[in-house]
Amino acid sequence: MKNTLSMLMVCLWQLSAIAQSGRYHVVISEIMANPSSSDAVNAVKYIELYNRSATTINLQHWTVSDGRVTAIIRTMFLLQPDSFVVLCATSNATQLQTVAQVIGVGSFPTLRINGDELVVRSPEGSVVHAVAYDKTWYGNEVKSNGGWSLEMIDPQYPCIGSGNWAASTDPARGTPGRKNSVSRSNPDRTPPIALQAVADKDHVTIRFNESLDSSLAVDIRNYTIPGAVITRATIAPPFFNHVTLVLASPVVANNPYTINIQNVKDCAGNSLLPITLPFGEPVTPQAGDIVFNEILFHPRDGGTDYIELYNRSERILNLKDLLLTNRSSAGNPGPLRQISTEDHLLFPGDYLLLSENTEVVQQQYAAQNPIAFLQMEALPSMPNTAGHIQLFNADGEIIDGLQYEDKWHFPLVAHPKGVALERISPDKPTQERNNWHSAAASAGYGTPGYQNSQFVQIPVTAEEISIAPKVFSPDNDGWNDFLTISYRFAEPGNVCSIRIFDTHGRLINHLVRNALCGQEGYFRWNGLDANDRALRVGIYVVHIEIFHPGGKTRQLTRAVTLARRF
C-alpha cells in the first residue's frame, strides 16, 4: 500500500511538472545538421535539448518538427533542471549513448544542411522553443562544410537567433549531452525591429525581426492607423514575430497607409523604438515594374554575390511569388529560386538587396539601409565573366532580364573582383550597355540597398541634343565619372555619329559610328581614347552628326572639360 501511494505521488508530481512547462523552459541548445562520416559520434544527426527551468519536466508526448515530419517522444523521460538530452533517429541512438542521455525517435527531422526550421511543442501543442537556423550561423566557412555542430551561446536568451549561436570549438567538434563549448554570457540588449507591414483586405500583418513578448504584442493600444480602426490583434507561433491586426473595414488596394507602433517588447524585455511604417495592399508585379539595378558577380575573397532590385513603378508590389533564375551560355534555364516564402512589399522607389549571406555583404560594403537586405537560400549562379539572369512573376511573365559581361566595367578598373556593376538610370533599358558602370571607389565599390553611386537623372530637354556635365572627371570616384550625350528627336529614324577631338583637332575617339537612334535616349563617354587609355586633363571637343533618311543633316559641336579630383 505504501509503495502504491508513493508511486501515485510520483505520478502526480510528474503531471504537475508537465503542467508547469512553458515557453522557453526547454530550449534547443545544439544542432548537428551536417555530420562527418569519419567519427562515430559526429556521424549522427542530432538535436540537443536543455532544461533551463527550475522544474523537472517529463518529455513524454513532446514533439519536434521541421514542418515536413514530426517526431514524437513516445516514452517517459524526466529532464532534470540544468541538464541535457539528445534526440536522434532511433537507428542512430546506440552511437550516441556512450556520450549522452539519448532519446531515439521515429520520423526524426531531416536537419537540412543549409538551414531548417525546428519547433519543439509540449503535449498540449504549445510551442516551447523554435529555431530557424541556417548555414551562415556557423560564422566559419570551414566548419559550415560539415563535421561540426551549431551550439547555443547563452540559453538564458533563447530567442536572439543567429547572434546567440556559433560553431562548436570543442576538440570533439560537438558537445552532445554536456555544456556547450561556446557557452558564455551573451545578453540580448538589442530592441526588436518592425521590418514590414502588409495589408490583405481587413487584416494587417506586421513582421518583426525577432520573437516578441506576446502580452504586449496583442495589445491593440500599441498600434494606430490613421483613418482605420483596429478591433483585435493576434501573434502567430512558432516564432512569435508576426502580429496580425484585424481592421473594422478593408483597406483600399494599392493605396498607401501608415501604422504607428510603440510599447512592444521582445522576449528579453527590450522595448521597440516607436516607429511609423508604410503599408498597403500590394499588387502583382508586371513586366518592367521591377528592374535589376546593381549586381555583384565577382565577389571578394570570402564574399558573396548579390543582386539589387528597384521598384521603378508607382505601385506597391509583393515579392512573395517572384522567381529568379539564370540561363547558361547555350540558353538553357537554371533552377528557379523563390525570392521570399512570405509577403514582402517593395514600395515605389524602394531598393531590395538579395544575397545568400547578407551579413557578409554588410561587413564588406557600406550598409546604409540594412532593412532593405533579404537573405535567400540560394541565388542563381552568376559567372565572373558573363551571365544571364531573369526575374519572373508567378504567371511566368518576365519582369526583367539582364545579360551582363565583365567588359561592361570601367576599363581602368584593373581588378574587378569585389566591384559591383551599377545601373545608371532605372528608366533606361536594362540591356543597354551604356546604362551600366562600375560602382565608384568612393562608395567602396558597391552601394547595396541604396541609390547607386553612378546614378544619373538623364535630363529631359527641349533641345535635340544636350551634353552634361560641362566638367567631368572619369576616375571612378563617383563624381561626374562620365559625360552624357542625351538626344530627343521629333521623329524616328535618325542616325548618329559622335567623334571626340582634342584642341589640336586630332581624333581621340570615334565614340559612335552610324548608330540608329530612337526618338529619345543617350550615349556615354568615359573619358578614354579609342584604345581605352586615360586622357590628360584638358578641353576636348564633342562633334555630333545627325542624319535622317529624308535628307535632313545636322551637326553640333561642344567643348567639354576633362578634370581630375585630388
pLDDT digits 0-9 by tens, 44-85: 999 999 999 999 999 999 999 999 999 999 999 999 999 999
Q: Is the pLDDT of residue 505 over 90?
A: no
The position carrying cell 563617354 is 525
Q: Please give the pLDDT value at position 7.
A: 46
Q: What are phi and psi of 252, to 5 degrees?
A: -85, 130
Q: Please give the pLDDT value at position 212.
A: 96
Q: Please give the pLDDT value at position 319.
A: 94
Measured between alpha carbons, how far is 390 from 335 in angstroms, rounded to an integer? 11
The predicted model gives 17-37 an average pLDDT of 82
Q: Please give the pLDDT value at position 220.
A: 97
Q: Please give the pLDDT value at position 39.
A: 66
Sequence-distant (6+) residues with CB within 8 A of 364 are 300, 303, 418, 446
* pLDDT-based confidence at residue 36 (cuts at 50, 70, 90): confident
| Statement: the pTM of the whole predicted model exceeds 0.75 | no
Q: Is the pLDDT of residue 111 over 50?
A: yes
Alpha-carbon dihedral angle through residues 378, 380, 383, 385, given to the nearest 10 degrees: -130
Cell of 361: 555583404
Q: Please give the pLDDT value at position 460.
A: 58
Q: Tell which wins on pLDDT, 1 or 264.
A: 264
Measured between alpha carbons, how far is 138 from 115 in angstroms, rounded to an integer? 11
The predicted model gives 531-550 an average pLDDT of 88
* pLDDT-based confidence at residue 15 (cuts at 50, 70, 90): very low
Task: Work out the angle at residue 291's Cα, subtended by the Cα atoms of residues 286 and 294, and round it to the nearest 5 degrees.
Answer: 160
Measured between alpha carbons, how far is 279 from 528 in angstroms, rounded to an integer? 46
Size (the chain), residues: 566
Note whether 210 and 266 are within 8 A (CB): yes
Q: Is the pLDDT of residue 338 over 70?
A: yes
Q: Tell which wins on pLDDT, 505 or 458.
A: 505
Q: Please give the pLDDT value at position 16.
A: 45
Helices marked H in 206-301: 214-217
Q: Is the pLDDT of residue 19 over 60?
A: no
Sequence-distant (6+) residues with CB within 8 A of 53 are 20, 21, 25, 26, 81
Q: What are phi and psi of 146, to 5 degrees?
A: 135, 155
Note whether 368 and 325 are within 8 A (CB): no
Cell of 474: 572619369
The CA radius of gyration of the chain, in Å to the nearest whole number, is: 30
- Residue 364's Cβ-count burial label (10 Å; 0-12, 13-18, 19+) is buried
Q: Please give the pLDDT value at position 521.
A: 81
Sequence-distant (6+) residues with CB within 8 A of 444 are 365, 366
Q: What is the mean pLDDT of the chain?
A: 90
Q: Is the pLDDT of residue 20 over 70?
A: no
